[in-house]
Structure 1
């Protein structure tokens, strides 16, 4: 009994010493060590932008919005994450294209090779089957390592980018029966199915059920006016791709020699891709198009799914119906674009309908809270037309279903680093969480 008592006293002294020592150790060292030890995978992260987004080498953001990087504003989130040991790449897909076309481009950018939009899809929408050729971010993506494990990636998509990465994950997992039938032995690996190459999908302020902002007739014309005005402001540059690369080669939409950017953008919005087609961003972002995608784009059983919502509105003081308007403390930092954001927020904050011919027939007060571009209710995951399971995150990631991480009181742009001081920490925390997912 005496010996056991002495052992207990000695153990208590050692425990006290250890706890005391930990207090005086620099917190950054212990945190870094803890993070390093907790990493379970080193899969690369690929960032996919939303509608009207731009690449890291394009000057559009700086000239039009005084924001150099899509991801980070004037701080390069890609390199910030790389510096912290998280291998990260920034994709640049068609800013006005459909989710299908964007997913095909994203696949080629990551894997390397020529974009294949699919024989059946290309014929249906009247554009070329093949697009640009890319070197590839992760050329061994999908291959087995020396231990027999598949080299996977983490995908993070903002806004429409969330719809795009979901679609890519479904195509890799399930393929396309239509494309396999149309192409036979020449079918792209993207459409084969059976590829468990994506470890996680994270969506930020994404319109999984669409945004009512895109449901309004004339949305395309409004977008055309804005982009044409931007093109006019940017002037007549020799190389438009260095300013804003539209990436609509498949529709034959390339800037002519000596053509001004404004003239080129005007021509883009007069294209048949808008007037006679559903193969564009406007359709996919609307509630009808989003539900059609939800009906076949399902969560894969071997992939983790995370979603974040944003809220930048509040109830209007003078509204008896509880309409929502932009919260000036959140959205009042857009300078020249303040009026535009306020108008968008107010429209979504009061829009309602009862039309049983629509995919989502009833739009009511549940849809009014928004982040300036997307209805907050749409951002947790696909509800309409979908069989996916969506659960509030409880601290333990569940695979094969949506882990809804919560709603942040910030606007649609804040979450990717524009005018929110906490954005970089948020991305580091997200990358850390993804690295802790088991292989």
Structure 2
């Protein structure tokens, strides 16, 4: 009994510390964005140099001219990410979009499902009102139509004008789902779409096969859909519901979780609607139409079961890890160079054990295959789609090993 109390106390302590760290970090990012915007506004007001602005404009025009015939590169952010225009002047991709006019960084729902984000990405590029699909919308309890893009960011997109996509973390799966939708001609009014609209897919620590991190943070390994009653994700769920319910315009202009199509604002559902959402009877967390179920092993297998690797598209993936083997045991690769809190997350994932009373997520499952990780994703998940069917792949250590590039293989 005493041992059980100690374990419970440690778990609650970990939850408190983890929640506090995430909250403080969130406020830090937000305050940094606000401070950056204020600083930029003051700089523009008092120290604006017309000559520099003129030169910058000329450089921009020259850059645009030199790259106008090249396919654009679309950078797709991962979970809790944001696109250009959110969080002030902060950049999710370290300012890549500021270096070239052909680099696009769409702002997709940071917590919305992979399916919803893929639909949003299509209309971001082509223009028009986001259509989530009638059947899907009814099943998940949200509006069929969402944000309107008066002008697409690449309206000429088609088979003759394909695009390079780069996806980070969950963003890699978003791109794969989008390509499958193009192949399936899943966009009403666009019957000419096909998989060849995608020239290449590059994944940066892509979440192809899910992550055991989801279970540590609160997803139930029994089904990969529900949340444990006391967990980090449960606190996150409550915070997101309240944030969207208050629906403060200037705040959501800075950061938006992407659930506007669920219509959970106080103006539309009132106080009783809020209570309904908090009790888990309505909203994205009730229907399961959000990102975390897609990142469990079960959810990823379900997604992968109908996604293909296409023969004319070039696929690249970059896998990361912060673990190493010491006497046959997987441990964090070192304390130096790793933030202490990230060190703990890496250690947790390297000690992962699938519950013995729960059926394994796939045939041939082994815990040790999932021990190498970077603190957020398991390395086995990043290389290429593996489950339920392994896709063609080639491990590359040196760039010269994959010359020339071959399509249809990771």
TM-score past 0.5 threshold: yes
Q: 1:390 aligns with which of 390, 393, 400?
A: 393
Q: 2: CA distance between counterparts of 1:107 and 1:58? A: 19
Q: 2: CA distance between counterparts of 1:117 and 1:77? A: 29
Residue 155 of structure 2 corresponds to residue 139 of structure 1: yes
Partner of 1:253: 264
Give the conservation status (yes or no) of the 8 Å contact 2:259–2:284: no
Residue 255 of structure 2 corresponds to residue 239 of structure 1: no
> Counterpart of 1:386 in 2: which secondary structure?
coil
Per the TM alignment, residue 118 of structure 1 is displaced from its structure 2 partner at its CA by: 1.2
Cα RMSD over matched residues? 3.5
Gap change, CA 1:105 and 1:275, over 3 Å in 2? closer
Q: 2: CA distance between counterparts of 1:92 and 1:269? A: 29
> Counterpart of 1:329 in 2: which secondary structure?
coil
Q: How many residues align?
A: 321
Per the TM alignment, residue 81 of structure 1 is displaced from its structure 2 partner at its CA by: 3.8
Gap change, CA 1:197 and 1:54, over 3 Å in 2? same
Residue 346 of structure 2 corresponds to residue 345 of structure 1: yes
Per the TM alignment, residue 54 of structure 1 is displaced from its structure 2 partner at its CA by: 1.4
Listed as ranges, the gaps of 5+ residues in structure 1 are 1-38, 63-67, 144-149, 180-186, 333-337, 403-439
Residue 157 of structure 2 corresponds to residue 157 of structure 1: no
Residue 75 of structure 2 corresponds to residue 53 of structure 1: no
Larger Rg: 1
Partner of 2:72: 44
Listed as ranges, the gaps of 5+ residues in structure 2 are 1-66, 220-226, 397-401
Q: 2: CA distance between counterparts of 1:357 and 1:229? A: 32
> Counterpart of 1:97 in 2: which secondary structure?
coil
Q: 1: CA distance between counterparts of 2:182 and 2:390? A: 19
Per the TM alignment, residue 330 of structure 1 is displaced from its structure 2 partner at its CA by: 3.8
Q: 1: CA distance between counterparts of 2:266 and 2:324? A: 43
> Counterpart of 1:391 in 2: which secondary structure?
coil
Per the TM alignment, residue 88 of structure 1 is displaced from its structure 2 partner at its CA by: 0.7
Calculate the TM-score normalised by the size of structure 1: 0.65
Gap change, CA 1:272 and 1:196, over 3 Å in 2? same
Residue 324 of structure 2 corresponds to residue 323 of structure 1: no
> Counterpart of 1:202 in 2: which secondary structure?
strand
- Greater RCO structure (CA 8 Å; 6+ sep): 1
Calculate the TM-score normalised by the size of structure 2: 0.69
Q: 2: CA distance between counterparts of 1:309 and 1:301? A: 22
> Counterpart of 1:392 in 2: which secondary structure?
coil
> Counterpart of 2:300 in 1: which secondary structure?
helix
> Counterpart of 2:138 in 1: which secondary structure?
helix
> Counterpart of 1:240 in 2: which secondary structure?
helix
Residue 126 of structure 2 corresponds to residue 111 of structure 1: yes
